[in-house]
């Protein structure tokens, strides 16, 4: 095979007999796919097909004999590209499927066309405001520096056709949200998961970064048995006047966010993550989120949040010990000053439950 930049797949090039010094050929298909091929100027037989729609993009021959070989050539069934409807391009990524969606954007499984590795790419809502994009880039640069065992690593960021995006390491496993569809979990199991979440938050909070959307859907139970927190990409850097969030805007997920976040996500502090973590622990222990009785009734949810009116964990799951219920209630305190004031404080109280020999 001749030299290439990693974008052309093996089935896209047929008949190249030898390789010498290469020239660069930028090629764009009418379907929108864009590639750059390094082609040896002395290569006698060459055809390049679009991996997306199978259109012949480039043909190079140096003899009539070569032309005859190319005309007779056939692509084997196993070399056929995926159907166009199953493959989409976004910047330098081949998008395979959607993994999830939220209030700020969608997450997809994709292949990095340069490194060939699987990544999760989050594409935010389109922002035409260059100021917002500038703030997004600045915040993402900071977030990319987070290196912790329990935090999904951000890899790249950018803006493609007006859509801000960032890519993350792809973790094989499943979300806590999916796991909880089967019902509640034991105190020990729930505590182990939340302790890992608190480890991640304690680290991020050292950099004055608030996650703002801790919930079961943003916690991954990896096949390696490591707990990973994702979506720090919508986090907020405290003491930073900028950001994608406008004053008065709500970011987060209703069941888990603290009441103050409903009013202004831009002004939340570290205790907002404590509340959301407590609400996630509630969900894990009860099998239903706090305020879950409101389901999709946002008006009712908002009123209950403001009035701190919800079915307590003790009422939902009376079999639980008073000690674990107290931890949840303190974390979810309506007034910020009554919550745990740090992830470390909550972790120290919860940790013994993750080590107990028998679930209560």
Assigned domain for 84 exists: no
Mean pLDDT, rounded, for 112-123? 92
Mean pLDDT, rounded, for 144-158? 88
The residue that leads in pLDDT, 147 or 62, is 147
The residue that leads in pLDDT, 359 or 194, is 194
Instruction: Please count the structural domains in the chain.
Output: 3
Q: List alpha helices for 121-186, DSSP H.
A: 130-143, 176-179
The residue that leads in pLDDT, 17 or 162, is 162
Count the neighbouring beta carbons within 10 Å of the beta carbon of residue 81.
17
Least confident piece of the model among 111-120, 121-130, 152-161, 338-347: 121-130
Assigned domain for 76 exists: no
pLDDT given at position 79:
27
Assigned domain for 253 exists: yes
pLDDT given at position 69:
37
CA 147, 153, 155, 159 torsion: positive or negative?
A: negative
Assigned domain for 69 exists: no
The answer on 224 and 145 residing in a single domain is no
The strand ranges marked E within the chain are 13-14, 22-28, 34-40, 45-49, 56-61, 88-90, 93-101, 105-112, 118-124, 154-160, 163-169, 173-175, 209-210, 219-222, 227-229, 236-237
pLDDT given at position 31:
63
Residue 100 maps to which CATH number? 3.30.200.20
User: How high does pLDDT run on average in the chain?
Assistant: 75
Residues 103, 232: Cα–Cα separation, whole Å: 14
The answer on 122 and 50 residing in a single domain is no
pLDDT given at position 357:
64
Catalytic residue, from 112, 113, 213, 273: name it: 213
Mean pLDDT, rounded, for 56-71? 44
pLDDT in tens, 213-223: 899 999 999 99
The answer on 296 and 207 residing in a single domain is yes
* 213 included as an active-site residue: yes
Where does a domain end: 123, 145, 169? 169
Assigned domain for 182 exists: yes
Mean pLDDT, rounded, for 155-171? 87
The answer on 211 and 96 residing in a single domain is no
The answer on 155 and 192 residing in a single domain is no
238, 244, 246, 249: CA torsion to nearest 10: -90
Check pLDDT > 70 for residue 291. Answer: yes
pLDDT given at position 163:
84
The answer on 162 and 27 residing in a single domain is no
The answer on 265 and 142 residing in a single domain is no
In the chain, pLDDT over 90 holds for what percent of residues?
Answer: 41
Least confident piece of the model among 56-65, 260-269, 338-347: 56-65
pLDDT given at position 92:
93
The answer on 297 and 177 residing in a single domain is yes
Residue 328 maps to which CATH number? 1.10.510.10
Where does a domain end: 169, 185, 209? 169
Assigned domain for 313 exists: yes
Sheet containing 154-160: which strands, arranged edge to edge? Answer: 88-90, 93-101, 105-112, 118-124, 163-169, 154-160
Assigned domain for 97 exists: yes
Which residue range(s) make up the domain with 50?
1-62
Most confident of 33-47, 126-140, 201-215, 258-272: 201-215
Question: In the numeric block, which tokens belong to residue 217?
Answer: 């859907």
The answer on 326 and 177 residing in a single domain is yes
The answer on 138 and 178 residing in a single domain is no
pLDDT given at position 139:
65
In contact, 334 and 275? CB cutoff 8 Å: no
Check pLDDT > 80 for residue 61. Answer: no
Strand, helix or coil for residue 176: helix
In contact, 49 and 19? CB cutoff 8 Å: no
Check pLDDT > 80 for residue 63. Answer: no
Check pLDDT > 50 for residue 251. Answer: no
The answer on 342 and 280 residing in a single domain is yes
The answer on 130 and 215 residing in a single domain is no
Where does a domain end: 169, 185, 215? 169
Mean pLDDT, rounded, for 61-81? 36
pLDDT in tens, 1-55: 333 333 333 333 333 333 333 334 445 555 666 544 434 333 444 555 555 555 6
- The confidence band for 230, taking pLDDT boundaries of 50, 70 and 90, is confident
- The confidence band for 125, taking pLDDT boundaries of 50, 70 and 90, is confident
The residue that leads in pLDDT, 242 or 339, is 339
Q: Left if phi > 0, otherwise alpha if psi is -120 to 50, otherwise beta: which for 189?
A: alpha
Assigned domain for 55 exists: yes
Mean pLDDT, rounded, for 84-88? 53
Check pLDDT > 80 for residue 200. Answer: yes
pLDDT given at position 208:
87
């Amino acid at each position: 095979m001749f030299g290439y930049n990693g974008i052309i797949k093996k089935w896209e090039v047929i008949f190249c007999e030898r390789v010498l010094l290469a020239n660069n050929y930028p090629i764009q298909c009418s379907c929108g796919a864009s590639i750059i091929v390094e082609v040896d100027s002395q290569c006698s037989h060459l055809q390049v097909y679009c991996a997306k729609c199978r259109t012949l993009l480039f043909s190079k021959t140096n003899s009539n004999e070569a032309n005859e070989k190319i005309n007779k050539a056939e692509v084997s069934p196993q070399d056929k590209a995926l159907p166009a409807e199953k493959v989409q391009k976004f910047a330098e990524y081949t998008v395979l499927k959607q993994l999830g969606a939220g209030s700020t954007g969608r997450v997809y499984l994709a292949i990095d066309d340069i490194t060939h590795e699987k990544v999760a790419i989050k594409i935010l809502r389109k922002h035409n405001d260059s100021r917002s994009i500038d703030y997004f880039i600045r915040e993402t640069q900071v977030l990319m520096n987070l290196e912790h065992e329990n935090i999904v690593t951000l890899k790249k960021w950018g803006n493609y056709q007006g859509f801000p995006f960032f890519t993350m390491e792809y973790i094989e496993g499943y979300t806590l949200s999916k796991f909880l569809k089967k019902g509640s979990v034991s105190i020990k199991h729930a505590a182990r998961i939340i302790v890992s979440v608190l480890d991640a938050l304690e680290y991020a909070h050292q950099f004055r970064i608030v996650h703002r959307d801790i919930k079961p859907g943003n916690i991954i139970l990896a096949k390696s048995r490591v707990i990973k927190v994702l979506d720090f990409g919508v986090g907020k850097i405290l003491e930073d006047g900028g950001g994608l969030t406008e004053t008065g805007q709500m970011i987060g997920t209703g069941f888990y966010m603290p009441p103050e976040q409903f009013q202004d996500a831009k002004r939340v502090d570290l205790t907002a993550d404590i509340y959301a973590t407590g609400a996630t622990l509630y969900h894990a222990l009860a099998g239903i989120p706090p305020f879950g009785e409101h389901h999709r009734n946002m008006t009712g949810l908002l009123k209950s949040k403001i009035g701190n009116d919800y079915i307590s964990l003790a009422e939902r799951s009376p079999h639980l010990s008073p000690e674990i219920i107290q931890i949840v209630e303190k974390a979810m305190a309506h007034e910020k000053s009554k919550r745990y004031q740090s992830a470390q404080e909550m972790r120290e109280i919860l940790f013994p439950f993750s080590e107990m020999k028998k679930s209560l």
